[in-house]
């Protein structure tokens, strides 16, 4: 029994969106579960669409998500090279073999001739005519030209492509791991280009040849590929034999609020669609990533995994190890799933609570420092983050939830204090300052006892006072317990903030 080998084959044409990450994830989980190899190969057969930096970007995203490939252009491996542009010569051989065996042919039609054909056959019933069995005998190709003409054109280096000759009236069927039996009528599939005029293969030829050469056993890709699967099945049949074809899994699409999830949805609805920030080098346009938005990689992979897959239990939170252990391709949905950002945030929230603060502390530290707060005491910072972690959905929330541990409030929730403020309260807090200056131990319990005792002595409701005290320290009605805050920031800052607030509240 040979080892399972699965591959992810992105085309570096921009950022890595949710669907892409989920495809990698399922590839990765499947491979790791069987103890197999996870291979990343780059689909860069269309040089005009290749975007500078996009390949590195993809590997950075994979790294962030914790999915390191076993073989790839950057990690090396026994079947190098892993970039299709670097394997160019390989493909022509197979294309020619297909022509010689009568499964493909040379086509010399120019762009104009193709357009002319399409316009000629275009009608309401047939808005997009195909280059297929119905028209190929009227086109300029090695099926319609004489052998001599073809030979001459070829020797003159005439621009040409190689097209597959789709058979008539055959039913092409195969077993998909998610959709089970899928079949197509070959008459309805067009004669896809296999080798382009520039000598580069199309995806169709390249996947089949590379999957064979790299001994891929299972291939996962998005459902948008299902329609071209018959071409691939046929190529396997003609070239290497159906019995060696990898098992296919066409993953359901991830949808946006309206239709297929697109980059635009992100801007439109205010959530990221890419794993990490992506700056288009051509336009300089920045598309925000989940990472920069404040997502933890653990949460990101978790939420993507359960979008279209579940193990039949009620568990929703999975670490990567648990995902690997529990993943099963049979339990992947066949239907597309709509992405829900609210739920995504919930996953992140759960992971923020679940993980030790130390594991994301440095990221949060960066956020604080870019906002001008210098963190010089890491132990104190850990303590602070621990105090507020359960109220943060995104890593970026930590700033608002915890700034007051570093900065005295610059504004107060006036509306909450104003109606409650009077001279009695003023006296209370003045007295509190004295008590706190003389308190034996600066601990939350002691502080709370002093506070309550004083309130009882002055015969004022303690709840109201606590609320005011909170506003004094924090500026608004938020945050952990007041006495915990007081204990944490220390006596000097606490007393200072009371004094400062007293001055402001006196004006109310």
Partner RNA sequence: GCCGCGUUGGUCAAGGGGUUAAGACGCCUCCCUUUCACGGAGGAAUCACGGGUUCGAAUCCCGUACGUGGUACCA
Per CB under 7 A, contacts with RNA among 44-103 are 45-46, 49
Q: Please report the DSSP string for 86-148 in residue order.
A: GGHHHHHHHHHHHHHTTSEEEE---HHHHHHHHHHH--SS-SS--SSTTTGGGSSBTTTS-HH
The candidate with the shortest Cα–Cα distance to 387, out of 498, 491, 486, 492, is 486
- Long-range contact set of residues 167-170: C-beta below 8 Å, sequence gap at least 24: 167/234, 168/133
Q: Which stretch binds RNA (CB under 7 A): 108-116, 319-327, 361-369, 404-412?
A: 108-116
- For the beta carbon of residue 318, count every other beta carbon within 10 angstroms: 20
Interface residue with RNA among 306, 384, 472, 498 (CB under 7 A) is: 306
Interface residue with RNA among 227, 434, 449, 506 (CB under 7 A) is: 227
Catalytic residues: 263
CA dist., res. 174 & res. 156, Å (int): 41
Q: Which stretch binds RNA (CB under 7 A): 143-151, 267-275, 329-337, 365-373?
A: 329-337
Interface residue with RNA among 37, 43, 55, 265 (CB under 7 A) is: 43
Q: Which is nearer to RNA, 241 or 257 (CB)?
A: 257
Interface residue with RNA among 79, 240, 346, 442 (CB under 7 A) is: 346
- DSSP conformation class of 172: E
Per CB under 7 A, contacts with RNA among 390-419 are 390-391
335 binds RNA (CB under 7 A): yes
Interface residue with RNA among 86, 198, 366, 378 (CB under 7 A) is: 198
13 binds RNA (CB under 7 A): yes
Per this entry, what is the length of the chain?
Answer: 508
Report helix, strand or coil for 11: coil
Q: Which stretch binds RNA (CB under 7 A): 94-102, 133-141, 285-293, 465-473?
A: 465-473
Interface residue with RNA among 134, 151, 331, 443 (CB under 7 A) is: 331
Q: Which is nearer to RNA, 167 or 437 (CB)?
A: 167
Q: Which is nearer to RNA, 419 or 434 (CB)?
A: 419
Q: Taking each helix axis from N to C terminus, what angle separates 297-305 and 54-65, rounded to the nearest 10 degrees? A: 90
Q: Which is nearer to RNA, 156 or 342 (CB)?
A: 342
For residues 267-304, b (16+ Cβ closer than 10 Å) or e, as one string? eeeebbbbbbbbebeeeeeebbbbbebbbbbbbbbbbb
Per CB under 7 A, contacts with RNA among 207-226 are 223-226
Q: Which is nearer to RNA, 46 or 170 (CB)?
A: 46
Q: How far is the CB of 496 from RNA (least distance, A)?
A: 20
109 binds RNA (CB under 7 A): yes
Per CB under 7 A, contacts with RNA among 365-394 are 390-391
Strands (DSSP E) along 252-298, which ranges?
254-255, 278-279, 286-287
- Its sign, for the CA torsion 253, 259, 260, 261, is negative
Q: Which is nearer to RNA, 276 or 304 (CB)?
A: 304
Tell me the site size for RNA, rule CB under 7 A.
86
At a CB cut-off of 8 Å and minimum separation 6, what does 459 contact?
Answer: none
CA dist., res. 312 & res. 331, Å (int): 8
247 binds RNA (CB under 7 A): no
Task: State the binding string over 434-463 for RNA (x if CB under 7 A, else -).
Answer: ---------------------------xxx
Per CB under 7 A, contacts with RNA among 486-505 are none
Q: Which is nearer to RNA, 110 or 437 (CB)?
A: 110
Q: Taking each helix axis from N to C terminus, what angle separates 444-458 and 423-437, rounded to the nearest 10 degrees? A: 140
- For the beta carbon of residue 72, count every other beta carbon within 10 angstroms: 23
Q: Which is nearer to RNA, 152 or 333 (CB)?
A: 333
CA dist., res. 155 & res. 396, Å (int): 63
Interface residue with RNA among 466, 491, 500, 502 (CB under 7 A) is: 466
138 binds RNA (CB under 7 A): no
Interface residue with RNA among 104, 139, 200, 216 (CB under 7 A) is: 200
């Amino acid at each position: 029994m040979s080892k399972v080998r699965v591959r992810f084959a992105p085309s570096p044409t921009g950022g890595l969106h949710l669907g892409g990450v989920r495809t990698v994830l399922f590839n990765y989980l499947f491979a790791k579960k069987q103890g197999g190899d996870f291979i990343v190969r780059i689909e860069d057969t269309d040089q005009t669409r290749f975007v500078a930096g996009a390949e590195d970007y993809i590997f950075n995203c994979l790294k962030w998500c914790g999915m390191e490939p076993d073989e790839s252009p950057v990690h090396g491996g026994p079947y190098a090279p892993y970039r299709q542009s670097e394997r160019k010569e390989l493909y022509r051989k197979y294309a020619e073999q297909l022509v010689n065996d009568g499964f493909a042919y040379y086509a010399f039609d120019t762009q104009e001739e193709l357009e002319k054909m399409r316009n000629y056959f275009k009608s309401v019933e047939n808005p997009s005519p195909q280059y297929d069995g119905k028209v190929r005998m009227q086109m300029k190709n090695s099926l319609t030209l004489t052998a001599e003409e073809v030979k001459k054109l070829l020797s003159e280096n005439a621009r040409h492509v190689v097209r597959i000759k789709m058979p008539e009236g055959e039913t092409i069927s195969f077993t998909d791991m998610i959709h089970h039996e899928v079949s197509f009528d070959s008459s309805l599939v067009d004669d896809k280009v296999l080798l382009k005029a520039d000598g580069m293969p199309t995806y169709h030829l390249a996947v089949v040849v590379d999957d064979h050469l790299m001994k891929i056993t299972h291939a996962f890709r998005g459902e948008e590929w299902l329609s071209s699967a018959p071409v691939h099945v046929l190529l396997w049949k003609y070239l290497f034999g159906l019995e060696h074809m990898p098992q296919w899994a066409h993953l359901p699409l991830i949808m946006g609020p309206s239709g297929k999830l697109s980059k635009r949805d992100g801007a439109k609805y205010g959530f990221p669609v890419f794993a990490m920030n992506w700056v288009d080098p051509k336009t300089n346009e920045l598309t925000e990533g989940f990472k920069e938005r404040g997502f933890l990689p653990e949460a990101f992979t978790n939420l993507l995994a359960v979008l279209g897959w579940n193990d039949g239990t009620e568990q929703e939170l999975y670490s990567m190890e648990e995902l690997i252990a529990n993943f099963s391709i049979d339990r992947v949905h066949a239907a597309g799933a709509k992405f829900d950002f609210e739920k995504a945030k919930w996953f992140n929230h759960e992971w923020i609570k679940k993980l030790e603060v130390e594991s994301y502390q440095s990221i949060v530290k960066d956020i604080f420092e870019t906002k001008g707060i210098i963190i010089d005491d890491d132990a104190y910072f850990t303590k602070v983050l621990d105090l507020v972690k359960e109220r943060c959905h995104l890593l970026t929330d930590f700033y608002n939830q915890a700034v007051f541990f570093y900065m005295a409030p610059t504004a107060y929730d006036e509306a909450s204090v104003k109606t409650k403020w009077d001279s009695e309260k003023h006296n209370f807090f003045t007295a509190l300052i004295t008590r706190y200056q003389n308190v034996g131990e600066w601990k939350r319990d002691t502080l709370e006892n002093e506070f309550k005792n004083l309130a009882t002595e002055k015969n004022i409701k303690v709840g109201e006072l606590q609320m005011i005290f909170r506003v004094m320290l924090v500026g608004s009605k938020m945050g952990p317990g007041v006495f915990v805050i007081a204990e944490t920031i220390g006596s000097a800052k606490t007393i200072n903030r009371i004094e400062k607030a007293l001055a402001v509240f006196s004006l109310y």
